[in-house]
Structure formats: structure tokens, C-alpha cells
Structure 1
Amino acid sequence: MAQARRAARLLAALKPHAIVASDLRRARDTAAELATVTGLKVTTHPALRETYAGEWQGLTHEEIAGRFGEQYAAWKRGEPVRRGGGELETEVADRAAPVVLDHAGRLPDGGTLVVVSHGGTIRTTIGRLLGLESRSWEALGGLTNCCWSVLGEGARGWRLLEHNAGSLPEPVLGDDD
């Protein structure tokens, strides 16, 4: 929660116009910290939930590799894999990216949308919005807890302006408390 409060103070400096979050508790609670600082309402959406990993759900990487060796290796190589019978990464992007685009489309010109979700969902959504091939999405890397990425619309589509921001030991946007 301390990480969420710190991130909220920093993100508030971006003067967001709207907040949309996964309906899962961890994301909702994180978004609520930003709502408290900005006075905005949080809209939740189940399409922003983390990737469903089927039988892999709740296991460590070591446990997954031990039980599902070849499937795990294929996934690490970037092959489309229904991890443990769960979702493909492209299916996660299929459900999450339209929600982000819908909410972004409701903003005033130059408006800022904050999306609070989960690492895998954020990575696949960014990959989809940038038009990257799904095999390349892993190159974006995961996000550290309560860090963020910044996308902007350019003349030829979405652009990644920052990734995994907020992990510096000292805030860079100002932290008047």
C-alpha cells in the first residue's frame, strides 16, 4: 500500500482525466489510492484482469518447469501456449486492448487515462497497441509493482514513451506531502 500511495502522488502530477482498473482487489486498491489523491472515480472492468494461467495458476516458475517442462520451454521461446490450459497472450490482448482504447477514446483532446492492471495484461496490451508481433511482446519486460508505462498517440499510432517508470529510489516529478 505504501508503494501504491507513492505511485499515486507521482501519477497525480500527470493530471489524469480518468482511471480504469482491473476489478481484482490488488488493482482496485492501487487505483483507489490514485482516486483519493485526484478525486477521480475508478471504473473497473473484468477484461483488465491478469492472464488466466490454468493449471499454472499459483505455481512458481520452478514448479511450472518441473510439472510442465516442454510447455514451459515453448512459452519461454515465445511460442503461443495455453499455459496450463489457460489463456493465450493474444487472447489477453484481445480482451484488454479494446477496453483501453474505448476509455482513451472518451478523453478530451490531450487527456490522460491511467490504466491499473497486472503485469502480463499490461505487457500484452502495450504490445497490441504498438502493433508489435506477439512473439515480441516479452521484449517489453514486466513491470515492477506500482510502476507504470506511458504511451502517447503519434502521427502513425501509439508510441511507448516510458516503460517501468517509477522505480527510482527518489521521486522525479515532485513529492510534496
Structure 2
Amino acid sequence: MGIRKYYNFGVLGHLDTDLSAVGLEQARDIRTLINQSKPDIIISSDLKRARYTAYEITDPSVIELESRIRERNFGSLTGRPRSEVQQFTETNFKTGFECDGWRNIGGECTHEMASRTHDFLLDLCSRLVETG
């Protein structure tokens, strides 16, 4: 949701950045469309950019913030250019460090990210089954 100005420059990770003016305008542009569907709930990442977008498009009472749907945690590579992350990923893979390599820089490997999002999806499905 909303323009990710740092992403547009090839910067990756859990950056807790503000929503840009363009992103704010985009959120306002879709507000009517979203609210026509009268959502029971909107689940948003808890990071500012996503959270501000959610609050801009709908009634805050239907918003649920969820840290498990954040972008990947790149550890010390957070905020670095995509090319640096890609170079680390390739080197990490070739040396066989995989998850340990990511943990060594304070990040999460693909398996950890998948587990985090998988847990979120299982919880969401359970809620849907319980509420009908």
C-alpha cells in the first residue's frame, strides 16, 4: 500500500519509514472503493508506512496491526541497496551458511520468513473458520 520511496531506490528491509506524499494521495484515492466493500477487518503491517495507509483508507476500528506480515528482516543489510543484499545472498548461498549467515548479521533467512508468514496465515484461517 502506498509508494515505498526507499524501495523505489532499491533499498530493502524492515525500514519503519513514513508514507510519502504520493502514497498518501494513493491511499486517499482508493478510500471510497475500499469502504464500499465495508470490510470487517483490514490487516496491516505494524510498520508506519503500511499502518498510516490503513488508517487513511478506512475506519481505524476495523484495522488490526500484525508484525508477522512485515517485509523480510535483512539485519545489518536493512536499508542497503538491493545490489548489496543480492551479493550477500549469493555469497551466503555459495558458502553454505544459509540461515546461519543471515542470523550472523541479525537478519532472517527465507525459512524463518516463511515460518513467520505461515504462522500468520494459519492463525488467519483458524479465525475465519471460527467466525464462519
TM band (smaller chain): 0.5 to 0.7
User: What fraction of aligned residue pairs are identical, expressed as a percent?
Assistant: 33
2:107 aligned with 1:86: yes
Partners of 1:29 and 1:91 in 2: how far apart?
27
Partners of 1:65 and 1:43 in 2: how far apart?
32
**Letter matched to residue 120 of structure 2:** V
2:52 aligned with 1:29: yes
1:44 Cα deviation from its structure 2 partner:
1.3
Partners of 1:22 and 1:65 in 2: how far apart?
24
Q: Which residue of 2 aligns with 1:48?
A: 69
Unaligned runs of 5+ in 2: 1-23
Q: Which residue of 2 aligns with 1:12?
A: 35
Partners of 1:15 and 1:98 in 2: how far apart?
26
Q: Matches of residues 97-108 of structure 1 in structure 2 within 5 Å?
A: 97-107=118-128, 108=131
Partners of 1:89 and 1:52 in 2: how far apart?
10
Is the contact made by 2:34 and 2:58 (CA closer than 8 Å) also made in structure 1?
no
RMSD across aligned C-alpha pairs, in angstroms?
A: 3.0
1:51 Cα deviation from its structure 2 partner:
1.1
2:91 aligned with 1:71: yes
Partners of 1:61 and 1:106 in 2: how far apart?
36
Instruction: Decide which structure has greater strand share.
Output: 1
Partners of 1:69 and 1:46 in 2: how far apart?
24
Matched positions, count? 101
Unaligned runs of 5+ in 1: 110-177
What TM-score, normalized by structure 1, do the two folds share?
0.45
Instruction: Decide which structure has greater helix share.
Output: 2
Cα distance change of structure 1 residues 4 and 63 upon mapping to structure 2, 3 Å threshold: same
Partners of 1:93 and 1:63 in 2: how far apart?
22
